[in-house]
Amino acid sequence: MRRMRFFASRNAREILRDPISVGFGVVFPILLLLLLSFLNRHIPAEAHMTLFEPEQLAPGVSVFSLSFLALFSALLLSRDRSSALILRLYASPLTGRDFILGYLLPMLPMALAQTLVCLLAAIPLGLPVSWRILACTAVNVPIALVNLALGMLCGTLLPEKAVGGMCGALLTNVSAWLSGIWFSLDLGGKVFRRIAYALPFANAVDAARAALAGDWGGMFPQLWIVLAWAFGLLTAAIVIFRRKMTAR
């Protein structure tokens, strides 16, 4: 455990050495909020468009912003794999679980900060001040784990050059289009909706919106689905990383 904490602190320092990536994860959601809130003001009331209202938009954007964590974590791990550092670490007493947790734990404060800043930025746009903002932040932890686990998997299996395309382009687009943030999933038909709700992103958005609204019963079963995805992906990341270690 002590060695894992030391490894995690090393990774935290590596993250802080890249302020552009950290800043992007915080600033980009705010820009999205401002842009879509501006568009919302010009949508006629007769259209009955509520997706861009602050109570609906802010939790959705906060969930979407967490998809960038996959890219950051995957790049960190893939860079270590391409260097001599990972070979020395393989010779250490660290286990596969220690490695994954060592990469993951420093990212969680970043995930919480992203969510909280995004929700607080929505207050001047009309989001009511409430302790439920903290509840929504907590509910976003499982989807943060999902994205981090996906990043760990990509960082373990893919070279550094391929990580950007998989996590930066593919994953963010899947999260954007299958989360129900920008449009109702019903517009895509029954099959599209079923696919979306089989994945964790739309379920995470619904759970975050329910938490922000104080609808505690409305968070379930969506939150259980996201937690199941998080557990499964983290388990897969640990197992695959351990096999890579053994192969080396």
Could you report the per-residue pLDDT of 133-178, keeping only the tens digit for each? Answer: 999 999 999 999 999 999 888 888 877 777 777 777 788 888 888 8
Between CA 17 and CA 14 the distance in angstroms is 5
Residue 47 has pLDDT above 60, yes or no: no
> Which tops the pLDDT comparison, 2 or 161?
161
Average the pLDDT over 60-83 and give the result.
83
Burial of 64-91, coded b for 16+ CB within 10 Å and e otherwise, reads bbbbbbbbbbbbbbbebbeeeebeebee
In this structure, are residues 136 and 119 in contact, taking their beta carbons and an 8 Å threshold? yes
pTM of the model: 0.89
Q: pLDDT-based confidence at 15, cuts 50/70/90? A: confident
Average the pLDDT over 69-86 and give the result.
77
166: which 2 tokens? 């998989």
Residue 146 sits at the vertex; the CA angle it makes with 129 and 8, to the nearest 5 degrees, is 90
